[in-house]
Amino acid sequence: MMEKALIQITEIGRKYVIGSEVIHALKSVTLDIHKGEFVALMGPSGSGKSTLMNILGCLDTPSKGTYILNGINVSHMTDNELAEVRNKEIGFVFQTFNLLPRSTSLDNVALPLIYAGASKKERDERAQLALENVGLGNRITHKPNELSGGQRQRVAVARALINNPSIILADEPTGNLDTKTSIEIMGLLEDIHSKGNTIILVTHEEDIAQHAHRIVRMRDGLVEKDYKNEDIKTVSPRLSNLEKIGSDFEKIV
């Protein structure tokens, strides 16, 4: 018997009313994602991929259809209920990092644990371990403006993992990074996936999408194509000499 999907969305639609115009950002999308999958969500501007990402991330609710996340129907929850689900079930990694500029790496990573009600001691211990796991154990007191773009994104990844979420939702995680640093971050995401985490990667970059094991292509508010990626690119930092991406890059894996 096949294990029930971690994410089950059935005939999801999302429309927006702007003045007298009705825009159907999503028309009817049905999609299952199982635990441990690494899925890339792709599509041109206006395809509906951002709207679908917002619904998957419980940042928005559908106009029609159902969304079951880890056995919970989140389709018509209130904003407060959705916030609670997000904190427990979803780890976010954004293109713009979304770090608090005046807070240290440690405090940024520990932030979700405040909402979870963890003690200060537990927050600091877990945040430090999370930073060590992404190769930033020596940057815990640094603020975002004292870190490189790649280091900031690793702080964001550590924050996304802090609550042991059901899924990691990475929205254009390499969009603001150069090629070398993009390779570094994709290597980190691959390492996280290899440990059993479920990752949904939203990207418009073909080479970044090729790291995923499954690709879902959107067009005009519908799933145009959903297929297994037979040509998976993997990053093996220990085996490749990428002109030395960073002095502590080897700590990532």
Sheet of 21-33, strands arranged across: 21-33, 7-18, 64-69, 72-73
Query: What is the pTM (predicted TM-score) of this model?
Result: 0.86
Asked if the structure places residue 3 within a domain, the reply is no
Asked if the structure places residue 173 within a domain, the reply is yes
Give the per-residue pLDDT at 34.
96
Boundaries of domain holding 238: 35-60+78-252
- pLDDT per residue as tens, the chain (253 positions): 457 899 999 999 999 999 999 999 999 999 999 999 999 999 998 899 999 999 999 999 999 999 999 999 999 899 999 999 998 899 999 988 999 999 999 999 999 998 888 899 999 999 999 999 999 999 999 999 999 999 999 999 999 999 989 999 999 999 889 999 999 999 999 999 998 999 999 998 899 999 999 999 999 999 999 999 988 888 654 433 333 333 343 343 3
Asked if the structure places residue 8 within a domain, the reply is no
Give the per-residue pLDDT at 3.
73
In CATH, what number is assigned to the domain containing residue 223?
3.40.50.300
Asked if the structure places residue 123 within a domain, the reply is yes
Asked if the structure places residue 67 within a domain, the reply is no
Asked if the structure places residue 105 within a domain, the reply is yes
Asked if the structure places residue 19 within a domain, the reply is no
Asked if the structure places residue 30 within a domain, the reply is no
- Beta 38-42 vs 198-202: how paired, if at all? parallel
Tell me how many domains the chain contains.
1
